[in-house]
C-alpha cells in the first residue's frame, strides 16, 4: 500500500464546534481535502500515523462513531471510545479536568454531548482540537457532509435552494449556518413553536448578506417545497426528547416528506436525511428508498469529510 502524504493547509480554528465559526474558505479547504481523501482512500495512510483520538459519547450513534473510528484507522492513527451514556460529562469530575487529562494522552477529542456548553468548556480547557459529534444545538460534521454531497451532485451549491421540513433542531441549525456561508438559499418549515432558534436565524441572516443567500422560515410544507433543489428532513423527536414522541408525532403529522411533497420540488430534486430515519413518520418508505434519495451517499461522505477534518485539525 502506498503511503503518500497530502499537502495539508491549516484551518483558521483549533476546534470544530459549530460551522458558524468556520469561514467559507475553511469549508472549501475541508471539501477539497475530503475529495482528495475520497479519491485516494488507499494512499494516505500516514497522515495521522501514531495519532490518537478520544471519542466520548453521551448518546447512541452508528454513523458518527463508526466513521470517526474508521477514519482514524484509514489515516494511520487510532481511536479510543468512551461510552458516557450512563453519566453526563462533568458528573464524575469536572469537564476542565477531563480536558486537562485527555490532552496528555491523545491528539484530539470527538464528543457527542447533550449540552453544547460542555463542548465549549472542553475546547476552552484542552490544548488539542475538540470536534462536535452532535450536541443539542448543532451537528456540524453532518452539515459539512450534507453540503459536500450536494457539491458532488451539483458542482456548485451557490444559488440552489435547500428546504428543511420538520423540527428546528440541531441538524437544522447546522444546515442553516452552513448554507448561508456557501450561498445556498435555506428554507425551514416547521410547525408553530418548533421553528429553529431565533439566534441562529438572525445570525444566519446577517451572514447571508455576504453571500446573497436567502433564509426563509415558514410553517407551510407545500410552500416550502415549491421549486426546491433538495428536501431534507430529520426525526421529529431528537435523542433526549423520547418523552415527547407521542405528542410530537401528532403535531408533526402534516410535515411528513412524501411523494406529493417531493413532486412540488424541482424535477429530480434530492431527498436528504441525516439518519437514523423513521420510515412512515417524517419520511415515507417510497421517498426514503426512491431514486431521488441520497441518504446513503451522505452517510458514506461522513467518513471522507470527517477524515478531512481530522487531518486538518490534528497536529
User: Active-site residue numbers?
Assistant: 112, 139, 142, 234, 274, 302
Residue 193 CA to residue 229 CA, distance in Å, equals 26
Residue 51 has phi, psi (to 5 degrees) of: -95, 145
257/281 Cα distance (integer angstroms): 9
Comparing CA positions, the residue from 138, 143, 140, 147 lying closest to residue 238 is: 138
Does position 190 bind ligand NVA by CB under 6 A? no
What string of DSSP letters covers 65-110? HHHHHHHHHHTT-EEEEEE-SSS-TTSSS-HHHHHHHHHHH-SEEE
Q: At closest approach, how far in Å is the CB of 294 from ligand NVA?
A: 16
Q: Kindly determine how many residues on this chain lie close enough to bind ligand NVA according to the rule CB under 6 A.
A: 9
Using CB under 6 A as the binding rule, whether residue 254 contacts ligand CP is answered as no
Question: If 0-12 CB within 10 Å is exposed, 13-18 middle and 19+ buried, where does residue 310 land?
Answer: buried
Instruction: Kindly tell me which residue out of 36, 111, 119, 235 binds ligand NVA, with binding defined by CB under 6 A.
Output: 235
Pick one of ligand CP, ligand NVA, none as the site partner of residue 62 (Cβ within 5 to 8 A by kind): ligand CP
Among 18, 47, 134, 174, binds ligand CP (CB under 6 A): 134
Query: Among residues 55 and 265, whose Cβ is nearest to ligand CP?
Result: 55
Cβ burial 275-285 (10 Å sphere, 16+ → b, else e) = bebbeebbbbe
Q: Residue 50 gets which letter from DSSP? A: T
Shortest approach of ligand NVA to residue 225 CB, angstroms?
A: 20
Q: What b-and-e string marks burial along 16-41, b requiring 16 or more CB atoms within 10 Å of the CB?
A: bbbbbebebebbebbbebbbbbbeee
275 touches ligand CP (CB under 6 A)? yes
69 sits near ligand NVA (criterion: CB under 6 A): no
- Choose one: 23-31, 55-63, 83-91, 198-206; the region binding ligand CP (CB under 6 A): 55-63
Q: Which span sits near ligand NVA by CB under 6 A: 29-37, 85-93, 104-112, 230-238?
A: 230-238
Residues 236-255 touching ligand NVA, rule: CB under 6 A, are 238-239
Residue 171 C-beta: closest distance to ligand NVA, Å: 5
Q: Examine residue 306 and tell whether it contacts ligand CP (CB under 6 A).
A: no
User: What's the rounded Cα separation, in Å, for the pair 286 and 191?
Assistant: 23
Task: Tell me the window of 43-51, 62-70, 117-125, 247-255 that interacts with ligand CP (CB under 6 A).
Answer: 62-70
The span from the CA of 128 to the CA of 15, in Å, is 8
Q: Which entry of ligand CP, ligand NVA, none binds 116, CB below 5 to 8 A by partner kind? A: none
Could you give the CA distance from residue 230 to residue 292 in angstroms, rounded to a whole number?
A: 9
Q: Is 135 among the residues that bind ligand NVA (CB under 6 A)?
A: no
Residue ranges that bind ligand NVA, judged by CB under 6 A: 134, 169-171, 234-235, 238-239, 274
Residue ranges that bind ligand CP, judged by CB under 6 A: 61-64, 134, 142, 274-275
Amino acid at each position: 500500500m502506498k503511503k503518500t502524504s497530502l499537502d495539508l493547509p491549516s484551518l483558521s480554528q483549533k476546534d470544530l464546534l459549530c460551522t458558524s465559526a468556520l469561514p467559507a474558505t475553511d469549508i472549501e479547504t475541508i471539501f477539497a481535502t475530503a475529495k482528495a481523501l475520497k479519491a485516494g482512500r488507499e494512499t494516505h495512510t500516514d497522515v495521522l500515523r501514531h495519532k490518537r483520538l478520544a471519542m466520548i459519547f453521551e448518546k447512541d450513534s452508528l454513523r458518527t462513531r463508526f466513521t470517526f473510528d474508521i477514519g482514524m484507522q484509514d489515516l494511520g492513527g487510532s481511536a479510543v471510545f468512551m461510552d458516557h451514556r450512563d453519566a453526563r460529562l462533568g458528573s464524575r469530575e469536572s469537564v476542565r479536568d477531563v480536558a486537562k487529562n485527555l490532552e496528555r494522552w491523545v491528539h484530539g477529542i470527538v464528543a457527542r454531548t447533550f449540552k453544547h456548553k460542555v463542548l465549549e468548556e472542553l475546547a476552552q480547557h484542552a490544548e488539542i482540537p475538540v470536534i462536535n459529534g452532535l450536541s443539542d444545538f448543532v451537528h456540524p460534521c453532518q452539515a459539512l457532509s450534507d453540503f459536500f454531497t450536494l457539491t458532488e451532485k451539483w458542482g456548485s451549491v451557490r444559488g440552489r435552494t435547500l428546504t428543511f421540513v420538520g423540527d428546528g433542531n440541531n441538524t437544522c441549525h447546522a444546515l442553516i449556518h452552513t448554507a448561508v456561508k456557501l450561498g445556498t438559499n435555506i428554507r425551514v418549515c416547521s410547525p408553530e413553536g418548533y421553528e429553529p432558534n431565533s439566534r441562529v436565524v438572525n445570525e444566519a441572516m446577517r451572514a447571508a448578506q455576504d453571500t446573497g443567500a436567502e433564509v426563509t422560515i415558514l410553517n407551510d410544507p407545500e410552500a416550502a417545497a415549491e421549486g426546491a433543489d433538495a428536501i431534507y428532513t430529520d426525526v421529529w423527536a431528537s435523542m433526549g426528547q423520547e418523552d415527547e414522541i407521542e405528542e410530537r408525532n401528532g403535531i408533526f403529522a402534516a410535515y411528513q416528506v412524501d411523494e406529493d411533497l417531493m413532486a412540488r420540488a424541482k424535477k429530480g430534486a434530492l431527498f436528504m436525511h441525516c439518519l437514523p430515519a423513521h420510515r412512515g413518520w417524517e419520511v415515507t418508505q417510497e421517498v426514503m428508498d426512491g431514486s431521488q434519495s441520497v441518504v446513503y451517499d451522505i452517510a458514506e461522505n461522513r467518513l471522507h469529510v470527517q477524515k478531512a477534518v481530522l487531518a486538518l485539525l490534528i497536529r
